[in-house]
Amino acid sequence: MEKVELVAPGGDLEKLQFALHYGADAVYVGGEKFSLRQRAGNFTLDDLCKARDITRQKGARLYVAVNVFAHNNDIREMPAYLKILHELNVDGLIISDPGIFMCAREYAACLPITISTQANNCNWKTMQFWENLGATKICLARELTLAEIKEIREKTSMELEVFVQGSMCVAYSGRCLLSSYFVQRDANQGDCAQPCRWKYRLVEEIQSRDPLVIEEDTMGTYLLSSKDLCMIEHIPELIGVGVNSFKIEGRMRSLYYVSLVTRMYREAIEAYYQSPRSYSFAHSWLKELERVTQRGYTKGFYFGPNPQDTQCYHEPVYPSSEQVVGVVKEASGKNKAIIKACNQIRLEDQIEIFRKTTQTTQTTQITQATQTSQTSEATKVVGLWNNMNDRVDILHPGVIGTIEVDGPLYPFDLIRKKFKSLPIL
C-alpha cells in the first residue's frame, strides 16, 4: 500500500526545516512573485536554491506555488521565472490559472504540475480535462464530500490532494472579492486582508444609524468567519476514498503551529499504515491540535454539502494558553543548548519540551502504546546565559542565548510554557 503524502507549508526557510523535521513528506512554498501569500516570508531565488538542497538531503519534495490569477503583466514576466524554477528542478508547480499552465508547459515542461484548489476542481470531468493537458495532481475543492471524492477517484488516475487542516475561506474555493471591495487588496493576487475575519453588524437600510445586532452582543458578530478545518479524526475515511496527498494550510502560521500540526498528522498516518484494521484514533493528537491558536474546528464539507457547524459567530480566534518561548538551535553540553528566544524565558520557569518522537520519521513505525504517550516533556529552567556567556535571570524575545534544563535538549526542540496573560507575539 503506497503511503499517503503529507504536505506541509513552508512559510520561510526556518519553517520549512521544522516541517521536514516533524515529518512532512513535502513542503510547498511561494516565491517573491506569483504566489497567493504576498505577506508571507516568501522565498528569494537564493532561498529557493537552499530549500531545494534541504529537501533533497531529507529525501523530501519541494513544490512551488505559482497560483495567482495572472494579469497581463504577470504573463509577461512569467517565462523568465518558470525557466528559473525549471533550472532549479523543483519537484512540482502549483498552478490555478490556465494561462500560467500554458506557460509552464512551454518553459518548464519537465516539472510536474498540481492544479490548485483555486481552480474550482469539483467534478471528475474537470479532472479528466486537466489530466489530458498534462497535469499530474489536483488539489480538490474544499466544498466536496467524501462521496464525491470517491466517485472522482473511480473516474481519473490523477493523484488527488485534499486539505486536512487549516483556515477556511468564506468564498468558493478561496476565490474571494471582499478584500478588493473593502480595501483594494486583491485576494486572487495573493494580498488578502481577510475581511471574513472582521466584526460586522446588520444595518436596516433606512435607519442605518441604529444597527440591528444579529445576536445579543453589543460588540457585533463575526458572521462571515469560518472555523478551521481539522480532519485528524478521519484519516481512514480519507485514505479509503482514494486520496493520495494530505495538505496542511498555513504558510503564514507560526513555526510552532507548523511543527505541532505536522507531527500530529505524521503520527496518525503512521499509526494507520502500521495496522489499518486495528487502527484507533488517539485523542492526544486532537488535544495537541487544540493547544495551538485556531478558530475552533470543523469537518468542513466532507460529510455533507450543508454543514451546520462551520461558522464561528463570536471571537474568531481561540488563542493558545501557551506559546513557544525558545527554539533549540544546537546542543552545547549535558542538558544545555543554544536557543533563540521567542518570548521571555526566566530562570526557574516551568516549561515543556515539544520534540519529534522516533516514530514520526517516514521509515519507522508507530506502536499503539505511543499513541497514548506524552507528547511533551515537563522540565524546569535551571540556568540561562546571554550571547556574551554571562549568567542572566531572563532572556528576551529575539535573543540568542544558552539554556540549561533538567533533561536533555536536541536541535529542533521547541520550548513552550503556559501564560497567565496574553504572550508577546
Least confident of 86-90, 183-187, 409-413: 183-187
Please indicate, yes or no, whether residues 152 and 56 belong to a single structural domain of this protein: yes
- Checking if the pLDDT of 115 tops 70, the result is yes
Residue 63, classified by CB atoms within 10 Å of its CB into exposed (0-12), middle (13-18) or buried (19+), is: buried
Whole-number percent of the chain with pLDDT over 70: 80
350: containing domain: 322-418
| Mean local confidence (pLDDT), 319-333 | 86
- Checking if the pLDDT of 372 tops 50, the result is no
Residue 162, classified by CB atoms within 10 Å of its CB into exposed (0-12), middle (13-18) or buried (19+), is: buried
Q: Which of 296, 330, 351 is the last residue of a domain?
A: 296
| Mean local confidence (pLDDT), 122-139 | 96
Please indicate, yes or no, whether residues 338 and 284 belong to a single structural domain of this protein: no
Is 14 part of a structural domain of the chain?
yes
Is 244 part of a structural domain of the chain?
yes
Where do we find the cell 499552465? 101
Is 181 part of a structural domain of the chain?
no
Task: Give me the CATH number covering residue 362.
Answer: 2.40.30.10
User: % helix / strand / coil in the chain, to the nearest 5?
Assistant: 30, 25, 45
Per the model's pLDDT, the better-predicted residue between 294 and 363 turns out to be 294
Please indicate, yes or no, whether residues 255 and 361 belong to a single structural domain of this protein: no
**Closest by CA position to 273, among listed 362, 146, 147:** 362
pLDDT on residue 73: 92
Please indicate, yes or no, whether residues 53 and 167 belong to a single structural domain of this protein: yes
Please indicate, yes or no, whether residues 364 and 247 belong to a single structural domain of this protein: no
Please indicate, yes or no, whether residues 394 and 250 belong to a single structural domain of this protein: no
pLDDT on residue 401: 97
Please indicate, yes or no, whether residues 245 and 393 belong to a single structural domain of this protein: no
Query: Strand, coil or helix: what is 415?
Result: strand
Which cell numbers hold the place of 105?
508547459
Is 205 part of a structural domain of the chain?
no
- Checking if the pLDDT of 373 tops 50, the result is no
pLDDT digits (tens, 9 = 90+) for 51-103: 999 999 999 999 999 998 899 999 999 999 999 999 999 999 999 999 999 99
- Checking if the pLDDT of 375 tops 80, the result is no
pLDDT on residue 361: 41
**Residue 309, number of CB atoms within 10 A of its CB:** 11
Using 50, 70 and 90 to split pLDDT, how confident is the model at 246? very high
Is 218 part of a structural domain of the chain?
no
Number of domains in the chain: 2
- Checking if the pLDDT of 417 tops 50, the result is yes
Q: Give the Cα-Cα-Cα angle 14, 285, 117 (nearest 5 degrees).
A: 60
| Mean local confidence (pLDDT), 286-311 | 84
Using 50, 70 and 90 to split pLDDT, how confident is the model at 303? very high
Residue 385, classified by CB atoms within 10 Å of its CB into exposed (0-12), middle (13-18) or buried (19+), is: middle
Task: Give me the CATH number covering residue 29.
Answer: 3.20.20.70
**C-alpha–C-alpha distance, residues 9 and 247, integer Å:** 8
Question: What values do phi and psi take at 351, rounded to 5?
Answer: -130, 170
Strand partners, 30: 65
pLDDT on residue 368: 36
Is 215 part of a structural domain of the chain?
no
Please indicate, yes or no, whether residues 351 and 256 belong to a single structural domain of this protein: no
Question: What values do phi and psi take at 345, rounded to 5?
Answer: -120, 130
Using 50, 70 and 90 to split pLDDT, how confident is the model at 212? low
Question: What values do phi and psi take at 415, rounded to 5?
Answer: -100, 120
Is 335 part of a structural domain of the chain?
yes
Please indicate, yes or no, whether residues 270 and 329 belong to a single structural domain of this protein: no
Q: Which of 262, 280, 296 is the last residue of a domain?
A: 296
Over the chain, what is the mean pLDDT? 86
pLDDT on residue 377: 87
pLDDT on residue 134: 96
**Sequential DSSP letters for 378-391:** EEEEEEEE-TTS-B
Q: Give the Cα-Cα-Cα angle 392, 393, 398 (nearest 5 degrees).
A: 75
- Checking if the pLDDT of 261 tops 80, the result is yes
pLDDT on residue 236: 97
pLDDT on residue 131: 96
| Mean local confidence (pLDDT), 230-245 | 97
Is 158 part of a structural domain of the chain?
yes
Please indicate, yes or no, whether residues 16 and 163 belong to a single structural domain of this protein: yes
Please indicate, yes or no, whether residues 352 and 274 belong to a single structural domain of this protein: no
Using 50, 70 and 90 to split pLDDT, how confident is the model at 175? low
